[in-house]
Structure 1
Amino acid sequence: MDSADYTEVALRLANADLADLASVRAALHDEPWWADRLRDSDLPLLREVADGLRRALAAMVDDPGADEAVRDEVNALLASHPPRPRLSGHGGHARNPHWHLHVAGPDAPAVDEVVAAAAWGLAQGVVDHGTHRWGRCQAEGCGAYFLDTSTNQAKRFCSPRCANRVHVAAFRARKRA
């Protein structure tokens, strides 16, 4: 996994419905090696970390001058759930494995790796993109956070699904008028 993937983990956890284990697993579907090993007893920690992620994201989105608050929230997450990076090389073939970093040891509980990945991912996202490229979906009823990596920094929706829903509704409203 690379740092961009960890940023996605942070966003998925921040945006996840953490009501039950099935919802968490659905949010982490791209990481089945974690999702399948999570337990109900992990939910309180996942909720706590998601709250911290949302506070940092809200500071970036709602108050562009809140760099100190962002730094404090992200540093608190990193201090509470420190990544323990290790180099891993598997996949590919023997002479050319797929090299990447894991943020926890091979025997760490899945929840430890998820929360460390989320903390690291948000921190790396801020390092790579600053605090001005984060947004909240403007589709009614959504509000999911996203990272805007577009060239013109004009992203307004978290996904094509939300954008299409809003645009189709606007088109239909114009047709009725």
Structure 2
Amino acid sequence: MDNADYTQVALRLANAPLDDVDDLRAALHDEPWWADRATTDDLVVLRAVAAQLRDALDAAVHAHHDELRHRVNHLLESHPPRPRLSGHGGGDGLPNWHIHVADVDAPPATEVAAAASWGLAYGVVRHGTERWGRCHAESCGTYFLDTSTNQAKRFCSPRCANRVHVAAFRARRRG
């Protein structure tokens, strides 16, 4: 996993409903190493982390730089990355080199929290605050990172954009 992937972990965790362990596993679907081992204990820890991520993302979206710095630093202090070089899972008997941000024997919540904290910090360093957004669809509110060339993204997905644009089109036709 690389730093950009950790940023996506932060966004997926912040945007997940986390009502139950299945929601957590769905949010971690790209990381089966975490998802398959997730428990109720992990869910409890990661609900709190997700709330802190949302607070930090709100600060980023609104360019409240001091608050953003404070919130991200608090996440990093509470869930510090402890990098470990790993080389398991490669094909042809060769190692698949990668870095875990926590001890592989730790509960999934430990590594997910560290990964999300690190990913958000990396995302802010890499992209500043101008590219963070929250979906403009009235019933959505999903956080996103706008990596488009023109930095004009207003919706989290084409689905939300289409829904809003179709509703506006229909309203204009009625009026």
TM-score tier by shorter-chain length is over 0.9
> Scaled by the length of structure 2, what TM-score is found?
0.92
Partner in structure 2 of residue 152 of structure 1: 150
Partner in structure 1 of residue 69 of structure 2: 71
Aligned length: 174
Shift of 1:100: 2.2
Residue type at the aligned position of 1:49: V
Runs of at least 4 residues off by over 3 Å: 92-95, 174-177
SS at match of 1:156: coil
Partner in structure 1 of residue 16 of structure 2: 16
Distance 1:151 1:92 in 2: 36
Residue type at the aligned position of 2:2: D
Q: Deviations over 1:34-74 (max 9, x none)?
A: 11111112222111111111111101112x2x211111101
Normalized per residue, the structure richer in strand is 1
Gap runs ≥5 in structure 1: none
Partner in structure 1 of residue 29 of structure 2: 29
Distance 2:74 2:15 in 1: 19
Partner in structure 2 of residue 53 of structure 1: 53
Gap runs ≥5 in structure 2: none
SS at match of 2:90: strand
CA RMSD of the aligned region, Å? 1.5
Partner in structure 2 of residue 82 of structure 1: 80
> Scaled by the length of structure 1, what TM-score is found?
0.91
Shift of 1:93: 4.0
Is the 2:60–2:132 Cα contact (8 Å) retained in structure 1? yes
Distance 1:29 1:74 in 2: 24
CA distance 1:118–1:176, shift in 2 (3 Å): same
Shift of 1:174: 3.2
Q: Deviations over 1:96-149 (max 9, x none)?
A: x44322111121111111111110100110111112210000011100100011
Shift of 1:92: 4.5
Is the 2:42–2:107 Cα contact (8 Å) retained in structure 1? no
**Residue 6 (structure 1) aligned with residue 6 (structure 2):** yes
SS at match of 2:97: strand
Distance 1:124 1:92 in 2: 30
Partner in structure 1 of residue 131 of structure 2: 133
Shift of 1:84: 0.7
Give the one of 104, 107, 114 matched to 2:105: 107
SS at match of 1:91: coil
Residue type at the aligned position of 1:107: D
